[in-house]
Chains A and B, each alone.
Chain A
Amino acid sequence: MKQSARRKGLKQVFLYIVWIALTLITLFPIYWMFLISARSRVELFSNRNLYQTTIFWENFVRPLFQGVYGQYVVNSLIVATGNTLLVVVLAVLAAYALSRYRVKGGQNIFFWTITNRMAPPAAFMLPLFLLYSRVLRIGDLQLYDTHIGLILVYCVFNLPFAIWLLKGIIDGIPTSLDDAARVDGASTVGIIRRIIVPLAAPGIAITALLAWIFAWNEFLFATTLTSVKARTITTGLVEFVTVVGTNWGEMAAMAIISLLPALLFLVLVQRYIIAGLTFGAVRE
């Protein structure tokens, strides 16, 4: 028994070493991006130190306050949040239907949803562009360059993924719970709201987190389907790639700014996930 205690201690130490190494590897590229954002253009090529004592604020100030990037951040927030809300609600409903009911061809529908995500993006941009700017159009109103347009189009990759993930999770919730609730007279919506959602909450949280991040970071759809008004921060980033010297400093600065909301979101949701994880109870 003593031996095993020592082994356990060693294992702990080993575990921490692994985590610390992983942390360093994970953080290094982001740290380097921060260093780049803190350096002026002249410094970039001459200074390769792994630390930095001065900060070249202009990289942050110019794009954020003189440019239009502040607005882009707001656009991104709207689009990502709107899309996440829509996706999570629809996916819970769809996953519940596919998990609990014997729908004709349910397996096939289930597989079909995921094929939506498989399409190589390039060629699919043109039909979407035409759809948004010409087909779905009433007078001057069109989906092109609107937030709602992006919110809808992001369903193409977020919805299948959310349905797949949530179905796996809902499958794991015993049906006996639904049946019990149904006997008590709960409606379908009631069951989803009172049984499924609370039990699948950590899973839903992770799904929402990932969906939000995917939407926040999306580039191709955003650049194809927006122009000025609904432009998102990721599409704004390519503006720094110019003929007269890619403006790495400002680009890194904006990249860091674009990373902050996602980070905040991540931290908030993480707390929720940890609280819901029943695995904390498993001890060695």
Chain B
Amino acid sequence: MEAKKTNKKREPGFLRMETNLFDRIFIGVVIFVAIHLLWMRFLESSISLTVASIISLVLIFVIAKWG
């Protein structure tokens, strides 16, 4: 379980904040939703929504790992 890690003190990553894994996943999900909403509004007419999903999933991973 990740829970073990959540409480461990770690050096702030590129987000420059003290976060645990849950926080970073939360940030990731927030960004995931925001990207999708904005994508639907501005980009979907030209680029498929799947691209947004891929980008955001990558982002979630990056943030969770190094954020």
15 intermolecular pairs with C-beta atoms under 8 Å apart:
A102-B7, A104-B3, A104-B6, A104-B7, A105-B3, A105-B6, A105-B7, A105-B20, A105-B22, A107-B20, A107-B23, A108-B20, A108-B22, A108-B23, A108-B26
0/1 interface trace, chain B 1-24, chain A, CB 8 Å (1 if under) = 001001100000000000010110
A246 CB to nearest chain B CB (Å):
41
Cβ–Cβ < 8 Å partners of A102 in chain B: 7
Cβ–Cβ < 8 Å partners of B7 in chain A: 102, 104-105
0/1 interface trace, chain A 91-118, chain B, CB 8 Å (1 if under) = 0000000000010110110000000000
Chain A residues in the interface with B (C-beta under 8 A): 102, 104-105, 107-108
Chain B residues in the interface with A (C-beta under 8 A): 3, 6-7, 20, 22-23, 26
Kindly list 12 other residue pairs between chains A and B, CB separation below 8 angstroms, not including A104-B6, A104-B7, A108-B23. A102-B7, A104-B3, A105-B3, A105-B6, A105-B7, A105-B20, A105-B22, A107-B20, A107-B23, A108-B20, A108-B22, A108-B26
Cβ–Cβ < 8 Å partners of B22 in chain A: 105, 108
Cβ–Cβ < 8 Å partners of B26 in chain A: 108
Q: Determine the residue in chain A with the shortest Cβ distance to B20.
A: A105
A120 CB to nearest chain B CB (Å):
16
A104 to B8, CA, bound (A): 9
A110 CB to nearest chain B CB (Å):
12
Cβ–Cβ < 8 Å partners of A105 in chain B: 3, 6-7, 20, 22
Across the A-B interface, the 9 shortest Cβ-Cβ residue pairs: A108-B22, A104-B7, A105-B6, A105-B22, A104-B3, A104-B6, A102-B7, A105-B20, A105-B3
A161 to B52, CA, bound (A): 37
Cβ–Cβ < 8 Å partners of A108 in chain B: 20, 22-23, 26
Cβ–Cβ < 8 Å partners of A104 in chain B: 3, 6-7
